[in-house]
């Protein structure tokens, strides 16, 4: 029965690879760098979706890492009473339990209208920067990034919290013992000792962000037209799959499978790297 896990994993790879063979043969690696996705002419290139996947998850990471690590520090180092810390920890864990589709609903009706004035301000005052160069008209990459932040925050916080808790008490004592202030100890001794675990957690979060589907699909706008701008609607591989897979015809299906294969390879690489990092950590301590 244990081999079922391996069997499923391998068959997922095989099924997705098999399905994408035709499209691979037709477009080769050009698929990755062309951006016209046109079911009518039966021409496919996934650059828009790949760009969207990478850009949304990386930006989400940039915002979520400081927030998550900061929160983890706040709830492991005794800055405030233990009771309050436990409540914050519990709430962050519960945030992880909220289904993605519910967050998507919330993003459509609450979050996006709420931040639109701010996005408008970015467009009007910083429109000369390519990533702010279009007028925000509703769904787009920017709100998708924010909802991704909400989704990966709990993972980063939880893993950073575990890594910080694993730092041996002796090391803490050493730092405070030579007269370090709280943040002197955190920044110079405790955080460096926990860093490989935290980086592993960040990589896991990156994998999650790249594969995250529902909330992103609902708020990103699902546009196949390429734009550098974060304020414009865009697409990610998983959003494209969610949207088009159900009613695709044969040629499109194969291209979608190809896109799924790309996503699979990306997340696999990130996950294996994350596991390797975490393992290296557990060997060290």
Partner 1 sequence: MPDLGYKNWQKRNIVNRLLSVLAGLFSFLCILPLIAVLAYILIKGISTFNLDLFTKLPPPPGGEGGGFGNAILGSIIVTTIAALIAIPIGVGGGIYLAEYSTGRGFSQFIRFGTNVLAGVPSIIAGVFVYGVIVSTRILFGNTFSAIAGGTALSVLMLPTVVKTTDEGLKLVSNDLRRAALGVGASRFVTVSQITLPKAFTPIATGVVLSIARAAGETAPLIFTALFSPFWPNGIFDPIATLSVLIYNFSAQPYDLQNQLAWSASFLLVVFILALNLLARWLGRFASK
Partner 2 sequence: MTATSSSQSAHSNLDICLSIQNTTISYGDFEALKNVFCDIPRGQVTAFIGPSGCGKSTLLRAINRMNDLIEGCSLKGRILFDGADLYAPDVDPVEVRRRIGMVFQQPNPFPKSIYENIAFGARINGYDGNMDELVERSLRQAAVWDECKDKLKESGNSLSGGQQQRLCIARTIAIEPEVILMDEPCSALDPISTLKIEETIHELKKSFTIVIVTHNMQQAVRVSDTTAFFNAEAVEGGSGKVGYLVEFNDTDKIFNAPSQQATQDYVSGRFG
Residues that bind partner 2 (CB under 8 A): 78, 82, 168-181, 184, 188-189, 192-193
Q: Which does 271 bind (CB under 5 to 8 A by kind): partner 2, partner 1, none?
A: partner 1
Nearer to partner 1, 209 or 229 (CB): 209
Nearer to partner 1, 23 or 157 (CB): 157
Contact 69, 160 (CB under 8 A): yes
Nearer to partner 1, 60 or 263 (CB): 263
Footprint (CB under 8 A) of partner 1, residues 42-81:
66-68, 70-71, 73-75, 79-80
271 binds partner 1 (CB under 8 A): yes
Length of the chain: 285
From the list 166, 155, 264, 164, the residue with the least C-alpha distance to 201 is 155
Q: Which does 176 bind (CB under 5 to 8 A by kind): partner 1, partner 2, none?
A: partner 2
Q: Minimum Å distance from CB 279 to partner 2? A: 19
Q: Minimum Å distance from CB 128 to partner 1? A: 29
* Cα 251 to Cα 11, 22, 215, 235, 244, distances in angstroms: 22, 8, 27, 20, 12
Whole-number Å distance between alpha carbons of 37 and 191? 45
Footprint (CB under 8 A) of partner 1, residues 120-159:
150, 153, 157
Whole-number Å distance between alpha carbons of 220 and 100? 14
Footprint (CB under 8 A) of partner 1, residues 157-196:
157, 181-184
**Tokens in use for 235?**
């697409």
Contact 235, 48 (CB under 8 A): yes
Q: Minimum Å distance from CB 155 to partner 2? A: 26
Nearer to partner 2, 26 or 182 (CB): 182
User: What's the first-to-final CA gap in the chain, in angstroms?
Assistant: 33
Whole-number Å distance between alpha carbons of 9 and 57? 24
Contact 45, 31 (CB under 8 A): yes
Q: Minimum Å distance from CB 41 to partner 1? A: 24
């Amino acid at each position: 029965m244990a081999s079922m896990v391996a069997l499923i994993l391998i068959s997922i790879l095989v099924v997705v690879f098999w399905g994408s063979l035709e499209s691979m043969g037709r477009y080769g690696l050009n698929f990755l760098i062309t951006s016209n996705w046109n079911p009518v002419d039966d021409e496919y290139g996934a650059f828009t979706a790949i760009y969207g996947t990478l850009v949304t998850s990386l930006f989400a990471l940039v915002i979520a890492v400081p927030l998550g690590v900061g929160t983890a520090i706040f709830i492991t180092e005794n800055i405030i009473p233990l009771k309050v810390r436990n409540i914050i920890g519990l709430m962050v864990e519960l945030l992880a339990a909220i289904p993605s589709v519910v967050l998507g609903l919330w993003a459509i009706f609450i979050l996006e209208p709420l931040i639109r004035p701010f996005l408008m301000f970015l467009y009007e005052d910083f429109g000369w920067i390519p990533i702010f160069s279009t007028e925000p008209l509703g769904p787009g990459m920017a709100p998708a990034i924010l909802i991704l932040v909400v989704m990966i925050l709990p993972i980063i916080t939880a893993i950073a919290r575990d890594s910080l808790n694993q730092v041996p008490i002796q090391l803490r004592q050493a730092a405070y013992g030579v007269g370090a202030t709280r943040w002197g100890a955190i920044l110079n001794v405790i955080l460096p000792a926990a860093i490989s675990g935290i980086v592993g957690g960040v990589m896991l979060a990156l994998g999650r962000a790249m594969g995250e589907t529902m909330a992103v699909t609902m708020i990103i706008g699902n546009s196949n037209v390429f734009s550098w701008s974060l304020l414009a609607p865009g697409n990610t591989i998983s959003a494209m799959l969610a949207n088009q897979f159900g009613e695709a015809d044969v040629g499109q299906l194969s291209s979608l499978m190809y896109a799924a294969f790309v996503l699979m390879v990306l997340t696999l690489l990130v996950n294996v790297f994350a596991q390797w990092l975490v393992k290296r950590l557990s060997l060290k301590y």
